[in-house]
Amino acid sequence: MTQVKDQYEAYPYPERDPADERKRLIGGSPSHPLEIDHFVFAGKRDWSRPLRALVAGGGTGDGLIQLAQVMTRLNRPYDITYIDLSQAARRIAEERARVRGLSGISFVTGSLLDAADHGPFDYIDCCGVLHHLPDPQAGFDALAAALAPGGGIGLMVYAPLGRSGVYPLQQAFGALLADQAPPERLRAARAILSRLPQGHPFRTNPHLVDHEQSDAGFYDLLLHSQDRPFAIDELIATLDRAGLALSGLTQPALYDLDRLLPKGAQVPDTLDAPARMAVAEKLRGTIKTHVAYAVPQARAGQARARPRDLSLVPHLRGAAPAKLAQAVAAKGQIRMRQGSLQIHEPLAKSAAPLIAAIDGRRSLSRIAAGAGLDPVGFQAAWAPLEHVLGDWGLLLYAQGAG
Inside any domain, residue 402: no
> 81 - beta bridge partners?
54, 106
Q: Is 238 in the same domain as 380? A: no
What backbone phi and psi angles, to 5 degrees, belong to 82? -105, 135
pTM score of the predicted model? 0.95
Inside any domain, residue 304: no
- Give the separation between CA 240 and CA 144, rounded to whole angstroms: 11
**Half-sphere exposure of residue 220, counting CA atoms within 13 Å on the CB side?**
23
For the residues of 66-117, what is the DSSP string, one character each? HHHHHHHHTT--EEEEEEES-HHHHHHHHHHHHHHT--SEEEEES-GGGGGG
**Which residues lie below 8 Å from residue 366, measured CB to CB, with a gap of 6+?**
none
Confidence of residue 371 (pLDDT cuts 50, 70, 90): very high
- Give the separation between CA 159 and CA 232, rounded to whole angstroms: 8
Q: Is 95 in the same domain as 193? A: no
Inside any domain, residue 308: no
Confidence of residue 401 (pLDDT cuts 50, 70, 90): low
Q: Is 238 in the same domain as 215? A: no
More confident residue, 343 or 397: 397
Q: Is 33 in the same domain as 128? A: yes
Tell me the average pLDDT of the chain.
95
Q: Quote the percentage of the chain above a pLDDT of 70.
A: 99
CATH of the domain at 41: 3.40.50.150
- Give the separation between CA 299 and CA 201, rounded to whole angstroms: 41
> What CA dihedral angle connects 141, 144, 146 and 149, to 10 degrees?
-150
Q: Is 211 in the same domain as 249? A: no
Report the length, in residues, of the chain.
402
Inside any domain, residue 307: no
Q: CA nearest 296: which of 242, 230, 250?
A: 242
- Give the separation between CA 81 and CA 86, rounded to whole angstroms: 15
Q: Are 68 and 97 in contact (CB under 8 A)?
A: yes
Span between the terminal Cα atoms of the chain, in Å: 39
Q: Is 279 in the same domain as 357? A: no
Domain closes at, from 299, 326, 341? 299
- Give the separation between CA 244 and CA 238, rounded to whole angstroms: 8
What is the per-residue pLDDT for 83?
98
- With a cut of 60, say whether residue 170 has pLDDT above it: yes
Q: CA nearest 292: which of 271, 309, 277?
A: 277
What is the per-residue pLDDT for 402?
63
What is the per-residue pLDDT for 399?
86
- With a cut of 80, say whether residue 341 has pLDDT above it: no
- For residue 182, whether the previous peptide bond is cis, meaning omega lies within 30 degrees of 0, is no
Confidence of residue 79 (pLDDT cuts 50, 70, 90): very high
Q: Tell me the average pLDDT across 74-95.
A: 97
Within 10 angstroms of residue 37's Cβ, the number of other Cβ atoms is: 26
What is the per-residue pLDDT for 278?
98
What is the per-residue pLDDT for 1?
56
- Give the separation between CA 292 and CA 38, rounded to whole angstroms: 12
What is the per-residue pLDDT for 296?
98
Inside any domain, residue 273: yes
Q: Is 368 in the same domain as 292? A: no
What is the per-residue pLDDT for 96?
98
Q: Tell me the average pLDDT across 253-262.
A: 96
Q: Tell me the average pLDDT across 38-42.
A: 98
What is the per-residue pLDDT for 197?
95
**Region of residue 83 (phi > 0: left; psi between -120 and 50: alpha; otherwise: beta):** beta
Q: DSSP label at 386?
A: I
What is the per-residue pLDDT for 318?
83
Which range marks the domain in which residue 353 is found?
314-397
Q: Is 195 in the same domain as 341? A: no
Q: Are 363 and 44 in contact (CB under 8 A)?
A: no
- pLDDT tens sequence across 90-136: 999 999 999 999 999 999 999 999 999 999 999 999 999 999 999 99
Query: Which alpha helices (DSSP H) does 129-271 contain, by range?
Result: 136-145, 166-177, 182-193, 210-213, 215-222, 232-241
- Give the separation between CA 157 and CA 289, rounded to whole angstroms: 6
What is the per-residue pLDDT for 91?
98
Q: Is 349 in the same domain as 368? A: yes
**Which residues lie below 8 Å from residue 348, measured CB to CB, with a gap of 6+?**
332, 384
- With a cut of 80, say whether residue 339 has pLDDT above it: no
- pLDDT tens sequence across 126-144: 999 999 999 999 999 999 9
**Half-sphere exposure of residue 173, counting CA atoms within 13 Å on the CB side?**
29
Q: Is 246 in the same domain as 130? A: yes
Q: Tell me the average pLDDT across 7-16.
A: 96
Q: Is 243 in the same domain as 137? A: yes
Q: Are 11 and 215 in contact (CB under 8 A)?
A: yes
- With a cut of 60, say whether residue 323 has pLDDT above it: yes
What is the per-residue pLDDT for 295?
98
- For residue 183, whether the previous peptide bond is cis, meaning omega lies within 30 degrees of 0, is no
What backbone phi and psi angles, to 5 degrees, belong to 51? -95, 120
- pLDDT tens sequence across 276-299: 999 999 999 999 999 999 999 999
